[in-house]
Amino acid sequence: MFTLYTIEDDCLLSACVLIRTAHGRFEDVVEFLSKIDGVARIFPTLGRYDVVIDLEVEDINAVDAAVLRMGKFAGVVFTETLVEIKTRGEEQC
């Protein structure tokens, strides 16, 4: 039902996008999302959001581009984006 992409690069920026879909548009949204560059994983959830996307991209501009593209799709009602931050002691790229 879902397309899984794997990207192996420790220097990519990770972000999690929480998505609420329009009633009856879940499958359309998932199909659309699977075609966006940088999507590493898509999975359904219960609760306030219907779908979660894991993004693995080069930089914050790529996160911005992907999320803006998601938000323009008719079946996407709302998104919230969580960008991973590096903690002290973690190697920076």
Per residue in 45-71, pLDDT tens?
Answer: 999 999 999 999 999 999 999 999 999
Tell me the domains of the chain and their CATH numbers. Answer: 13-83 (3.30.70.920)
Global pTM reads: 0.81
Residues with Cβ within 8 Å of residue 64, at least 6 apart in sequence: none
Per residue in 8-57, pLDDT tens?
Answer: 556 789 999 999 999 999 999 999 999 999 999 999 999 999 999 999 99
Q: What is the largest CA-CA distance in the chain?
A: 45
